[in-house]
Amino acid sequence: MSSPKSATDEDTRGKPVEQITFRFCSECSNMLYPKQDDNSHRLQFTCRTCHYTEEAQSSCVFRNVMNNAAGETAGVTQDVGSDPTLPREIISCPSCSHNEAVFFQSQQRSAETGMKLFYLKPDFPQPPSLNWSHAGRTVGEWQLTLPQADAGLPPNWEVRHSNSKNLPYYFNTTDKVSRWEPPPGTDTEKLKHYMATHHSASTSRPADGPVPDGKIRAAHLLVKHEGSRRPSSWRQEKIDRTKEDAYSIIRGYEEKIKSGQSSLGDLAVTESDCSSARKRGDLGYFGQGDMQREFEEAAFALKVGEVSGIIETASGLHLIERSGQPPSVRLPIISLLT
């Protein structure tokens, strides 16, 4: 088996690869899980059984850090192989092509794009020349490389996730600059597919929950045009469609919603020109004076579950759906400043 590549290498298809490391506790041999230290904000490896902790020596060890208790519970358990809640798929090992590895994607989002972890079945071949024993779970470390999902971004750009805004953004790893809109040269079709797969969040609704006084919750789908006050979005750096073209596009979405062919949330994930697309168009709770007047009047006039007709504001053209119950995690208000 060939030796693992570094986190900066590229595979034969030219796609960037990301380094995955998993470690085992030197005290009790259980698998360690990654955790961000609340005080130093540095990455650590911690054992759930004996609380052994060691600091990560390389920033490449785990680029994707889980830093909240709920995320850690959802993303990693002591026996990851038997946890039925974890999304998983069987994939081949990128080093030796053996197909007995299971890839886990966390259900929570954090500072980056979500934690990834390999769990190896007991019959997985032992890598040579490494301090490793899966069956006995002795102290050891093994680094693998995975091709990153193709987001259609230019070289040196990647999608990251903002903790404060709870939204994805674009980061240049060379220049260390970030932006909310895709950089020039982005393949928008690939980006739409990537965002729908990796950065859309369904808003599960509990049976009941307090609704803030005087506030409502709604989702929307926005189609911008060249006359919008900011003719740019995460989907397209410069929007040059006419208002007439925008009306034609949003009428098509309206028909799909009315016919039951699709929902507003499903369409918003890939088609909305608002950053709320990452949350299926969900804007959180807002009250009088929080939004643009035309949008606000239309939203407050809707009944729960009702979808508006086409609403025009300075931002563009909207379809609005009013919802009643809060999402399982309170979402921040995304003001219509786009």
Active site residues: 220, 274, 292, 315, 318
Cα–Cα distance for residue pair 102/203, rounded to 1 Å: 27
Cβ(134)–Cβ(124) under 8 Å? yes
Among 199, 7, 30, residue whose Cα is nearest residue 94: 7
Among 151, 166, 237, 156, residue whose Cα is nearest residue 203: 166
- Which helix (H) or strand (E) element contains residue 49? none
Cα–Cα distance for residue pair 322/311, rounded to 1 Å: 14
Cα–Cα distance for residue pair 30/32, rounded to 1 Å: 6
Question: For 74, left (φ over 0), alpha (ψ -120 to 50), or beta?
Answer: alpha
Cβ(317)–Cβ(300) under 8 Å? no
Q: DSSP letter string over 226-287?
A: TTSSS---SS-SS----HHHHHHHHHHHHHHHHHTSS-HHHHHHHH-SSGGGGGTTEEEEE-
Cα–Cα distance for residue pair 319/328, rounded to 1 Å: 24
**Torsion from C-alpha of 193, 194, 196, 198, nearest 10 degrees:** 160
Q: Are strands 216-223 and 282-286 parallel, antiparallel or unpaired?
A: antiparallel
| First-to-final CA distance of the chain | 51
